[in-house]
Structures are given as structure tokens and as C-alpha cells.
A and B are shown apart, each in its own frame.
Chain A
Amino acid sequence: MNRAKIITFIIEKFFWICALLSLLALLLILGFLLKEGLPPLFSIGFGDFLLGTSWKPLEDTFGIFPMIAATAAATAGGILLGGFIGLFTALFLAEVASPKLARLIRPLIQLLAGIPSVVFGFFGLVLIVPWISNHLGGPGNSLLATILILSVMILPTLASISETALRAVPQEYREGSLALGASPMETLFKVTLPAAKSGIIAAFVLGVGRAVGETMAVVLVCGNRPQIPKSLLDPIRPLTSTIAMEMSYSTGTHQQALFAIGVVLLVFIVALNLCVNYILKGRKDV
């Protein structure tokens, strides 16, 4: 009897330890990235690093402002385009489509979400980049190509999370609105959509996280020129691409500077997650 109790105790503690692994892994990641990335941030100087406009590793000049601008522009574009299409797809699947049609389309969206990012990048490189170059001018590798690829990549995430949020809206809301004489479209946009607001906002914030962090698709289509983009057709170089491009041959201060970029990304992602947490918590209280 006692032995059985001890075994039970051990097994339960083992479950607990396994659950703790995630926390330990996160702390390990934070610790090691900060250990590598913080010292260069201090030695270069936060201002010079974040706001410096010139990135010349050979001359020990590390300013990442052009990359921050590139990441911001690409993310904004991707979220606007992918977010709009994704949200409307979610509205269609949750509220308009017949259950049969929705059952047909949903697996396709899941498949789109599962396609590896390097395949998206390759597709962009062989089809979108030449198309832009031929029809709109410029080198093709550009902000526009990055935005197009990013919007297709974040679309499934946005569509599926938004759809879940829309489906969670109680049926009475819709019935009440319809009973008051509102048309189905009015009900959809003025009642259901606002009611699902917090879930949809959370989906957009997660979409921003994906767009900011996306690497292998972006690095193939962005053009890799660290400059502040002035037009949609300019080649750009987002933060993640800089790490991916230069990590394999960098050494010394240069490599440390890449880790510092990693720290900037990490801080941003953790802040975004705190936002999502806050948004979703607000919803539960209501």
C-alpha cells in the first residue's frame, strides 16, 4: 500500500517536472541570447545600435535602423493585406458559407498554414520576383515581394484564429439582431464582428509576431540591401534576414551584433505575447 503511494507520488512529480521543462527552456533561451546579445548592445550603445543608419560590419559600424524600418514596413503591409483577406475569409467560413462548403475549405487553409516557409520563399523567388521585375520595374527582390509573401503566410493563422473567435459568439446575439430587423449582413458586421473583437485583435497581434519573425521566406525575396525603403520596389533587408544572411560567416563583434539583433527581436516578441495575454484576459472578465 505504502509502496503504491510512493510510486504515485513519483509519477505525479515526474509530470510536474515535464511541465516545468517549458519554463526552463524559455529561461535558458532568454539567458543565453541575452548573455551573447546584451554586451554588444552596451558596447555599441543602444542609441547608435537602434537608430544608426549604416550597417558596415567591416568598419565596425552597426546601425540597425534601416532593418527596423524594413521589418516595420513589410509587417505593416503583410498585416494590412493578409489581415484583410484572412479576416474576410474567416467571416465567410464562420457566418456565410454552408457547413458543407466550410468543411471543404477549412482543410485547404490548414494545408496553406503547413507549407514550409522555405517553399513560400522559393515560390516567391521563381514567380513573384520575376513578375514584379518584368511588369513593375526594379530588381524584383523588393519590399512588395516581401509583403506579398508575408501576407499569404500569415493569412491562414489569421483566418483560423478569427474564425474560432467568431464561432464563440453566442447564437442569441445574432438572433436578437435579426429579430430587431437587421439584415444578415448588418448583423455580421455590426453585431457578430464587434462581439468577437478581442479574439480577432489577438489573431492580428499573433500575425504581427509571425511576420516580424519570418526568416527563410523573406530572405529569398527581400533583396538584402540594408537601406530604408523609399518605395515598394526597393530591395530591403529585415532584421531576421540579416541574422540569416550573415550568421554563417560572421565572427567576433560582428557575430555579437547579430545576437544583439536577436535580443531586439526577442524583446519585441515577448512584449507582443504579453499584449495577447492582456487582450484575452480582458475578454474572460467580461
Chain B
Amino acid sequence: MKRKLTEKILMTLLWLCTLGTVAALFLILGYVLIQGLPHISLRFLTTSYAPGLGLEGIWAMIIGTLLLMGLTLVIAVPAGIFAAIYLSEYAKPSRFLSVLRFSIECLAGIPSILYGLFGFTFFVVFLKLQFSLISGALTLAIMILPLLIRTTEEALQSVPVSFREGSLALGANQLVTLFRIVLPSAIPGILTAVILSMGRIIGETAAVYYTAGTVPQVPLTASESTRSLAVHLYFLAKEGLDQGQAFASATILIIIIAALNLAAQGTANILNRRLTGK
């Protein structure tokens, strides 16, 4: 009898914890979206931010975030993919390789505020890049490197060895096999890596705050400061002046993240289907 009771309690706990997790997600999404959606208008999205003049739009932040994201990806994606190719296709087990892998894990574990501190002392001060788009992008590029490398490597590893063997048996060398067979098969997986990185960049606050700065303007060159949407939300939340704007900005962030998540799942599914034979 006692055994049955314990089992029932444990089973209930398992259900409750899972429901709790899902409920937490819906509470956050629901609360923010319900309060935020009514405040979103075309005007809010397309005007600039100058509270003194009564302008409270997030146009500059949207463009600033997109430019920051684009520049970061341009820097980090090639480096990340090539690094993953080395790790997956060329590296042989060695002491050096384990050091390399450990350093990637460490980079993944470093808190974003430390990336902010580093970006500030290295890019902003030491290299004299100032608070600018390029300082922010370089800092973020290092930050997303581990995520890019790991996800791309997984995609490359999931390409069956038989694909490679077939190509090599037909006389293609390793490099041709890589570019003609392995990479094309892994493209949906690499796309997943890029989309996940986009989410990290858009949501990042601490590292952007101390490198790209906080000026709410559309940067005309890479050496101008900008304010990302996440940093903008932090300002609005901290100052507590206008909660409507804060809710609306949070809503935009959540919508973007949710869309990117869906896209990442889509590409991951395509990869699975392709490699398991339709």
C-alpha cells in the first residue's frame, strides 16, 4: 500500500513540475504580450526616440539591433563554420585538441557581463574603437562563437560517414568531398546554428551596453554608437518612466525570439529528414 502511495506522489510531482515549467513560460509570455500588444503601433515602430520632443518610437533601436546583428554574423559565422570544419573533419585526438575544446567550453560559460567588461577594456579603450557598432559586434562575435561552432559541428557529425566514403571512393579528395558533399548536406544544421546565434545577439544586453553604447540613434558608420532593443528595454525598465513602452519593447523582443525559435526548429527538422532519407 505504502509503495503504491509513494509512486502516486512521485508521479504527481513529475506531472506538476512539468506543468509548472510550461505554466511559467505561458505566464511570462501571456503577461507581457497582453500588456504590450495594445501599445504597439506603426508610429511606435517607425519614429525615432527623443522623449524631450515627445517622440517615443523604437525605429533607431530596431535598425541598430539589425545592424549589430548583421555585422556580428559577418564576423563570426565564417570563423565559426571553418573552426567547426576543422574540429569535425580534420582534428585528431591530441592534447592540443582537448585544450581547444576546453577553451570553447570556457568561452560558452563566461557570463555576458564579463564579455562586456572585456569588450570595454579591449575594443573600446585599448583599440580605441570607442562605444561603437564595431566594438559591440566584435565582442558579440566572440560571445556567439562557441554556440556556432558546437551546433555546426553537430550538423557536420550527423552527415553519415557513408556519404564521405562514397565520395572518396569515387576519387574526390577530402576538400572536394567537404565542399561538394558534406557541407551541402549539413546546410540546414548550419542554418540552425546561425538562427540560434541571431537569438543570442538580439537578446543580449550586458555585453552590448558596455561596448556598443546606449545612444538611441541609427548608426551611419560602424564607428558610431547605437542602442539595441534589449538595452532600450533595460533603460525603460530601470527608469520605470513609461511602462507601456517597456511592455511594447519586451513584446517585440519576444515575438522576434519566438519567430527565430520556430525557424530554428524548422531547419533542424529539414536536416533530420534529409539525413534519415526523406
Instruction: Determine whether B165 belongs to the interface, using a CB cutoff of 8 Å to chain A.
Output: no
Instruction: Determine whether B241 belongs to the interface, using a CB cutoff of 8 Å to chain A.
Output: no
Chain B interface residue bracket vs A: 35 or more
What total of chain A residues lie within 8 Å of the partner, measured CB to CB? Answer: 81
Contact residues of A between 103 and 123, Cβ < 8 Å to B? 105, 107-112, 114-123
Across-interface contacts of A121 in B (CB, < 8 A): 234, 237
Of the candidate stretches A45-53, A83-91, A169-177, the one touching chain B is A83-91
Of the candidate stretches B24-32, B45-53, B54-62, B182-190, the one touching chain A is B24-32
- Of A108, A185, A276, which is within 8 A of B11 by CB? A185
Across-interface contacts of A262 in B (CB, < 8 A): 113-114, 117
Report B223 CB to chain A, min CB distance, Å.
20
Q: Which residue of B lies closest to A16 (CB)?
A: B86
- Measured in the bound complex, the distance between the Cα atoms of B100 and A119 in whole Å is 34
Contact A18 B79 (CB under 8 A): yes
Per-residue contact bits, chain B 209-243, to A (CB 8 Å; 1 contact, 0 not) = 11000000000000000000011011001100001
The SS class assigned to the B binding surface is helix
- Measured in the bound complex, the distance between the Cα atoms of B110 and A212 in whole Å is 10
- Of A28, A36, A105, A126, which is within 8 A of B243 by CB? A126
Contacts A21-B145, A240-B113; A15 near B24 (Cβ below 8 A): no
Report A187 CB to chain B, min CB distance, Å.
11
Report A201 CB to chain B, min CB distance, Å.
16
Contacts A15-B90, A209-B109; A84 near B17 (Cβ below 8 A): yes
The SS class assigned to the A binding surface is helix
Contact A212 B31 (CB under 8 A): no
Instruction: Determine whether A152 belongs to the interface, using a CB cutoff of 8 Å to chain B.
Output: yes
Can you list 14 A-B pairs, Cβ within 8 angstroms, ordered by A?
A: A15-B82, A18-B83, A22-B149, A23-B100, A26-B103, A86-B21, A89-B18, A116-B257, A119-B233, A119-B250, A122-B250, A123-B31, A156-B21, A215-B205
New contact pairs (6) apart from A22-B149, A26-B106, A156-B21, CB-CB < 8 Å = A108-B21, A112-B25, A126-B246, A213-B113, A265-B113, A273-B102
